Structure 1
Amino acid sequence: MTAFPEIAVIGAGAIGQTFVVDFTRRGYTVSALVEHNSAHVDALREVGQIRLSGHMGEVNVLMPPLALDADAAAKGRVILVATTVDAHEAVAHALAPALMNEHLVLLANGYVNGSQRFAAALEAGGCTTRPAVLELNTTPFLVCSPEPGRVHVTARKRWMELSSFEDGLARKHHELLAGIVPGIEVCDNALASSLNNQNPVAHVPSYLLNAAEARCSEPVAPDATRGGAFYLEDYSSEEVLQLRTALDHERMQVMRALGLGDYAIARTEFSLKSYGPGAREAVSPRMGRTFSRRFVTEDVPYGLIPIEKLARQAGVNTPVISGIITLIGALESYNWRRRCKGADDGD
């Protein structure tokens, strides 16, 4: 094992670009930055560099080799998947023929049981080897990319949990991965760690109770007086906070019913652990979008619906979680329960 393995990053959005800058300036070689959107790849190639600003300082780094196909990531020993979770299955299928036993795949946020889902998708894609698949329970950065090749970081989280559905795997690879992504601690229960992800609790109530604003959310100019990335709290009314509290209460109930009470982390505690002193930029510019589509496409099918399913298995009622899933489905004219493999249709 080398002290500085080559790293490939899949997903060239705000998180992926920030990883590239962070890895490069800390001495790692980024062997490939993979992005399936050809127009975005063309734009990044034309810019030729990534310019970072904000909480992590001001720095420009050269653009690493760009690729459209995920199998190009196999050049790196460590493959960091920084796509949205709804793209994980496609990424796994593309990677499957190229992976070897020596590869480490790290999901930069797996949502509920992400490493298990990803490994299953690898197998379904024809992977015949046994690469290590691990997951973080939260993304390391709060970041916005207002244009290709530019990222602004408002926070770098000081704490994340590393886990895997395979026993002992997180501990085995912790030292290496903690060097690559500082702040990682091992959790020996992947389900518990992923259930502590606060995104579904924080995002969905804001989206639901501000639906008219959220569904037409557009990029906001830096000098705007309201809205913009990192300013979701502008829309955090007392009603939103009450709904978050109710969601978190049900999530904790489910964890206790599953025998995971010792691992459960309340929303306020999770925030304090993630955003310790000095983790955030004092004053962030207003740019990007206030509401993201991933508040629906990630947080509902890969957050709330798995919690609802686990609750039913444990004999726990989750009227708030179930009601929100149904309401979001009505707003989107889409049955998210039916979309999720293995999830009950519900009411």
Structure 2
Amino acid sequence: MSSALGSLLFRKTVQEEVMGNGLLIAEATALPFACRKLEGNAVNIWLRFHHVPIATFPARETPRSVALLENCRQLFPALVPVRHVMEVALNNGNPITHPGASLLNAGQIEAAKGDFFLYGQGMTPGVTRVIEAVDQERIAIGRAVGLELVTNAERLVRVGLSRPGADLYETYCNSEVLPAVKGPSGIMDRYLTEDIPFGLVLWSSLARTLGVATPCVEGLIEIGSALCGKDFRARGITVERLGIDGLDALELDRFLITGERKEEL
């Protein structure tokens, strides 16, 4: 459950005899719940998500994965099967929101020393316009592989994090959950150190392969790398690491469904 095409990396790592034993590798866009760890072994759960896209690699096995998870419906109450794991990866809300909002609030985040609320304090109309630009680039990547993705504003409503608004800013303002979410704790928080290399770098790599322009995504990667002092492109997930470089849109779609490259068919 990585929502960053981790299923492809896992399949590359495990031995062929393990795969031959009927192992299913699925991933979903998010955890089943909006939650934060408290002290000790306690967890604060704010919301049970209403809509969690899931797929198996290869996608022809998704119905079998979903059928197995039906046996533990209390833990996974809102799974929605989608075309393939690319649709899962491109529906991950964290890279859409976290990097841009965190970078634009970096000064406040560092000054707050752990006492900052990104959604309650950092979501201004200008910040949300940057998030919308990232969102449009994400949607364009999806369209290049035949996926019609919903906007981030609609995604927030679908999962149950907010009520509809006139625009993305108003949708964030309508949320009864997000303003109370504390974080990020600093510039080396997962909002940047995970969501850039395992989110935006992946989207950038896919975009270049598919011939999609993503100037806002590219800018956030570069600024985030400079801010954190990390080469996120070198550390991140790319089509080369996933073994899907050199595939055009149709070949990629077929590979994600069948698990076989053209030369293997």
Does TM-score exceed 0.5, indicating one fold? yes
- SS of aligned partner of 2:25: strand
Q: Do the aligned residues in 1 keep the contact of 2:119 with 2:179 (CA within 8 Å)?
A: no
Correspondence for 1:195 among 90, 96, 111: 90
Task: State the TM-score, normalized to the length of structure 2.
Answer: 0.74
Q: Structure 1 residue 136 and structure 2 residue 25: aligned?
A: no
- Over 3 Å counting, the alpha-carbon distance change for 1:325 and 1:202 in structure 2 is same
Correspondence for 1:253 among 140, 146, 168: 140
Correspondence for 1:208 among 91, 94, 103: 103
Runs of 5+ unmatched residues, structure 1: 1-106, 221-226
- SS of aligned partner of 1:206: helix
Correspondence for 2:42 among 139, 146, 150: 150
Measured in 2, the distance between the counterparts of 1:233 and 1:115 equals 34
Q: Aligned residues: percent identity?
A: 25
Amino acid at match of 1:318: T
Tell me what 1:175 maps to: 67
Tell me what 1:160 maps to: 52
**What's the CA shift string for 1:74-113, capped at 9, x where partnerless?**
xxxxxxxxxxxxxxxxxxxxxxxxxxxxxxxxx1xx2231
Larger Rg, first or second structure (1 or 2):
1
- SS of aligned partner of 1:203: helix
Tell me what 1:15 maps to: none
Runs of 5+ unmatched residues, structure 2: 164-173, 241-265
Q: Compute the displacement of 1:122 (Å).
A: 3.0
Instruction: Give the structure with the higher percent helix.
Output: 2
Q: Structure 1 residue 244 and structure 2 residue 131: aligned?
A: yes
Q: Structure 1 residue 289 and structure 2 residue 176: aligned?
A: no
**What's the CA shift string for 1:194-224, capped at 9, x where partnerless?**
211111111111110011233466454xxxx
RMSD of the TM alignment (CA)? 2.9
Q: Do the aligned residues in 1 keep the contact of 2:50 with 2:160 (CA within 8 Å)?
A: yes
Q: Compute the displacement of 1:192 (Å).
A: 1.6
Q: Structure 1 residue 313 and structure 2 residue 209: aligned?
A: yes
Measured in 2, the distance between the counterparts of 1:307 and 1:284 equals 25
Q: Do the aligned residues in 1 keep the contact of 2:206 with 2:238 (CA within 8 Å)?
A: no
Q: How does 1:1-347 map to 2 (within 5 A)?
A: 107=1, 110-123=2-15, 129-178=21-70, 179=73, 180-215=75-110, 218-220=113-115, 227-228=116-117, 232-261=119-148, 264-275=149-160, 289-291=183-185, 293-340=189-236, 342=238
Measured in 1, the distance between the counterparts of 2:177 and 2:222 equals 37
Measured in 1, the distance between the counterparts of 2:128 and 2:179 equals 24
Task: State the TM-score, normalized to the length of structure 1.
Answer: 0.58
- Over 3 Å counting, the alpha-carbon distance change for 1:123 and 1:306 in structure 2 is farther
- Over 3 Å counting, the alpha-carbon distance change for 1:276 and 1:123 in structure 2 is same
Measured in 2, the distance between the counterparts of 1:217 and 1:145 equals 20
- Over 3 Å counting, the alpha-carbon distance change for 1:156 and 1:308 in structure 2 is same
Measured in 2, the distance between the counterparts of 1:202 and 1:157 equals 17
